[in-house]
Every structure is written in C-alpha cells, then in structure tokens.
Amino acid sequence: MKNRALALMLLVLPGVVTLQAGDRTNIRGVGMARTMNASAFGTDALGINPANLAVYDRGSFRLVLSPVGFAIRSDLISYDIYQNYFTGVPGPNGTRVAKYLSAADQQDILSRLPDIGSTMFEMEDMWLGVSFRHPVIGGIGFSITDRMGWRLTLPKDYFRLFQGLDVNGTTYDFSGTGFSAWWYREYNISYGREIPVPIPAVRHLYAGVGVKILRGYGALVTDYYRSKFGNVPDPNDPLQYTLIGNSDFRELRSGIDVFDKSKNVNMTPFPDPAGKGTGFDLGISANILGDIHASVSVTDIGKITWDRNVYETTGKGAVTITDIASAARDSIRDAFAGQDRALTESFTTALPTRLRIGAMVRSGELQFLRWMPGNMMLAADYTQGFNESLGNTTKPRFSLGMEYRIIPLLPLRTGISVGGGDKFRWAAGFGLDFYALTLDFATDNFGILFSPKNFSMASFSFGLGFRI
C-alpha cells in the first residue's frame, strides 16, 4: 500500500500544478477520435510524424501555449453498475441507505466484469510548442511536454472473493494483478523536409526525424505478480476448513527527492530527475495519386533509465492456517504485503513505441465531393503499439475522423474508433479559428451523452494556439 500511495502522489500532485505520446495535446485530432497520423501539421506533428512539419498548412509559424488533455477510463465498473448497486436505496425521512446485494445482484455484477480488467488515467500537458516551415529549409519544431498516468489491472477473482469463501472450497487466482505509474518530461526537437525523389504516382515526398531528451520524475512498475488464495474444507468436519495461500511478486519504483519526506525538498518547476533517457521519432509522408496525403511513422523509440531513489518491493511465501480463530496477522502480512529494499542498480522503462499509418483527403480535392459547401477533411488511422509500457498497448487501434468547415472560423469535428484496448468510441470537438488565434476543445467519448448508463470513460482536451 505504501508503494501505491507513493505512485498516486506522483500523479496527483503534479496534476494540481498543471493538469499516448502527442495524442492528448493534439486537440484537433482528439475531436476526430484521435485520428491524426496524416492530418497533424505544424506543432500538431510533434510526436506524431516529424515529416509533416515540412507540409504547408495555413501559415509558416505556429505557437501553442499549454494545450492539455486528460482521460480516465475503466472496464472494471460502469456507471450503470455504480448507479444500480452502490448509490443506496430510499430510506426513511427521504434519506438513502445502503443496498443489500443479493446473490443475484452479485452474480449480475460479476457477469459484466472481464477476466482481467483495468482502470487507467493519462494526462498530457505541452508547456510550449513552436513550429516553423520554410519551402527551402524545411520544417522544424520544438516542444516541452509533461506526460503522466497510472494503470491498475485486477483479475475478476478479487471481486469473487467479496462473495465470501465457498464452504465447499475454492481457489482465487490473483495472477495478472499489476500497477504502474509514470511521470516524465519530454524535450522534443524535430525536423522534416521534402525529398526531391521522383516516384510514380507520388507528387510530394517528405521525411522527418525527431529527437527527444527525457527527464523522468517518477515511475512504478510491477515486474510480476503471481498470487493465489483459497480454502480447503476439512473432510472430518464440514464446518471447518483450512486457509491456504501463496504469493510471489516484485515491484520497482523510483522518484525525485520531493516525494521523500525525510529529505525535506520543495517542489520546483525543473526538479533534478530520477531518470534520464533519449527517444526518437521517424516518419515519412507523401501526396499520392494526386489527392491523398498518406503518412507512416514510428514514434517513441527509446527508453528511460531510472537510477535515483530506486526501491524494490518483493514478496514470496506461502501460508497455511488451520485454526482461523487464532490466525496470526503477521503470517498473512508477511506472505502478501512484501518488503522494501533500496537498490544501487538502475532499471529501465521502454517508451510507448508505436507504428502509425494514416491517410487524409479534402473534399475540394475529390471530384465527387466538390459539390459540398464549405470544406471537409476525411481521415483514417491505424495505430499499432509494440509494447505495454507507460500506458501503451499491443492491441491495434482503428479510427475514422472528419473535420467540416461550413463556416471557416468554426471547424466541427467528429470521429469513431475501435480497438487499442478500449471500447467503441464516438468523439467530437470544435474550434474557433481566427487564423492568427485558435481555440480548440474536444472529447473522444462524446457518446456518453447518449448512453450514460454504459459510461466507463471521461476525457477532455483544450488548447490555445497562434499562427503567422
């Protein structure tokens, strides 16, 4: 519990000061269900595809100030379950009293839970983003971004245990339990330019690279967790049983001095990091078949090495209790709580490496859509993660997005997505685009307004930008 409390502090405290890499601060893309791989230009291209910095998109210079986005989602419990079973029932004098969960209620809740469910929070705050494009020099961009989040995974057997021990004996398997938390800062400098290579059906070809200097402020990872607990009935006495359990787990954590009360260090905007690392983005994009802008990139190649205030928590043991009444708490605690130990060696966390493929077209460039008033942009994305680190997932994600400007200064955005370890999502957003000044708002779970009972995610993103 001490480790988890520390990890939550790493996330909550920075959030008081400020609020998938690049995905949350690209407000335009969030409103299109995070469909942005081919439609991100200027500062939006940072962390998505550096090649798109060289693509002209309404102005040569762009500055954004602290766009911020967050999301929290869970497949462990929905709003419908919470409202039906955990908000109480009407009691005397108009008050609400606790609801007694019948066996049928408990079974209904369990039937809706996945075998291993997760709850995740992520937040992204770009302190500063600048991009500049020149037709000869190419495009260059720089940003400072904080990324933080946590993820908890729990097997269904935890909730089965709440029903109480089965008198006929049962085993609860907690393997797959995991908790991770992270907070790091990224200094990103990226460059893209057009490559004058004649290729059939390709009108323009762009390539780009991004280099990221990383400063880690806190991390907690569950290396492994294997644990079981249960009871075995006494063959000589059906009213008695033996408790059995075993545990084997390892957690690693590292953090800056401010989270160590014994060091009495105050928080500063640029604290000495607990971890350091380097990352890279690589990308290409092109106009193909005259009208389609296609994009391919691999982002966040690299790792962070944590070598300061490193601690390990391990637990390994077994417990057998035949006399429940006189069971010693220490024997259970020693088997399942674990022990802390300071380490002199470091550990590493891989960056959330992703393959991003996208395509984008505009209505004015398609013959069959030129009759439409205003200007519409249509985009499609495929995103594939290569690891499960820092909130990443290896489950592929597909999305479709649209931006429609029937009124030029009021872009309206929407999109749908599926996969990526998440449910089907419907997103929406809008902007106020005065050319030199832009304001953008978005959520990638707009569908909550129409299906609140199935609510399992909340997200919001906001950004302010300037363009010349």
- For residues 437 and 451, the model is more confident at 437
Q: How many Cβ atoms sit within 10 Å of the Cβ of residue 417?
A: 24
> Model confidence over 10-40: pLDDT tens digits?
333 333 333 354 588 899 999 999 999 999 9
What pLDDT does 453 receive? 58
How buried is residue 146: exposed, middle or buried, by Cβ count under 10 Å (0-12/13-18/19+)?
Answer: buried
Q: Measure Cα distances from 66 to 17, 53, 448 in Å.
A: 12, 19, 26
Region at 247 (left for phi over 0; alpha for psi -120 to 50; beta for the rest): beta
What pLDDT does 455 receive? 57
Q: Measure Cα distances from 75 to 11, 78, 144, 151, 293 in Å.
A: 21, 7, 32, 12, 36
Name the band, by pLDDT with cuts 50, 70 and 90, for residue 292.
Answer: very high
Phi, psi of 144 (to 5 degrees): -125, 120
> What is the rounded distance in angstroms from the CA atom of residue 315 to the CA atom of residue 336?
6
What pLDDT does 333 receive? 62
DSSP 264-322: -----SSPPPSEEEEEEEEEEEEEETTTEEEEEEEEEEEEEEE-SS-EEEEEEEEEEES
Q: Is the pLDDT of residue 6 over 60?
A: no
Beta bridge partners of 206: 194, 285
Four-point Cα dihedral 439, 426, 284, 384, nearest 10: 140
Q: How many Cβ atoms sit within 10 Å of the Cβ of residue 163?
A: 14
Q: How many Cβ atoms sit within 10 Å of the Cβ of residue 121?
A: 20
Region 145-162: mean pLDDT is 90
Q: Measure Cα distances from 159 to 47, 76, 166 in Å.
A: 39, 10, 14
pTM of the model: 0.86
Name the band, by pLDDT with cuts 50, 70 and 90, for residue 5.
Answer: very low
> Model confidence over 376-427: pLDDT tens digits?
999 999 999 999 999 899 999 999 999 999 998 999 999 999 998 777 889 9
Greatest Cα pair distance, the chain, in angstroms, is 88
Name the band, by pLDDT with cuts 50, 70 and 90, for residue 440.
Answer: very high
Amino acid, res. 428: A
Residues 37, 126, 12, 445: is their CA dihedral positive or negative?
negative
Q: Tell me, which fold does domain 2-76+113-467 have in CATH?
A: Porin (2.40.160)
Region 422-447: mean pLDDT is 88
Q: How many Cβ atoms sit within 10 Å of the Cβ of residue 8?
A: 15
> Model confidence over 197-229: pLDDT tens digits?
888 888 899 999 999 999 999 999 999 999 888
Mean pLDDT value across the chain: 85
Highest mean pLDDT: which of 99-103, 337-341, 345-349? 345-349
- For residues 80 and 467, the model is more confident at 467
What pLDDT does 331 receive? 60
Region 284-291: mean pLDDT is 89
Helix (H) or strand (E) holding 340: strand 339-342
Among 208-217, 292-301, 439-448, the least confident range = 439-448
Region at 31 (left for phi over 0; alpha for psi -120 to 50; beta for the rest): alpha
- How big is the CA angle at 431 (ends 429 and 437), to the nearest 5 degrees? 155
Beta bridge partners of 301: 280
Region 101-108: mean pLDDT is 82
What pLDDT does 448 receive? 65
What pLDDT does 242 receive? 82
**All structural domains of the chain with their residue ranges:** 2-76+113-467
Amino acid, res. 378: L
DSSP 98: P
Letter string b/e over residues 206-220, b meaning 16 or more CB atoms within 10 A of that residue's CB: bbbebebebbbbbbb
DSSP 129-192: EEEEEETTTEEEEEEEEEEEEEEEEEETHHHHHTT---TT-EEEE-TT-EEEEEEEEEEEEEEE
What pLDDT does 330 receive? 59
Letter string b/e over residues 277-286, b meaning 16 or more CB atoms within 10 A of that residue's CB: bebbbbbbbb
What pLDDT does 10 receive? 36
Name the band, by pLDDT with cuts 50, 70 and 90, for residue 446.
Answer: confident
> Model confidence over 51-74: pLDDT tens digits?
999 998 888 999 998 899 988 888
Q: How many Cβ atoms sit within 10 Å of the Cβ of residue 55?
A: 24
What pLDDT does 274 receive? 95
Name the band, by pLDDT with cuts 50, 70 and 90, for residue 155.
Answer: very high
- For residues 280 and 13, the model is more confident at 280
> What is the rounded distance in angstroms from the CA atom of residue 411 to the CA atom of residue 31?
10
Name the band, by pLDDT with cuts 50, 70 and 90, for residue 100.
Answer: confident
Region 305-309: mean pLDDT is 95
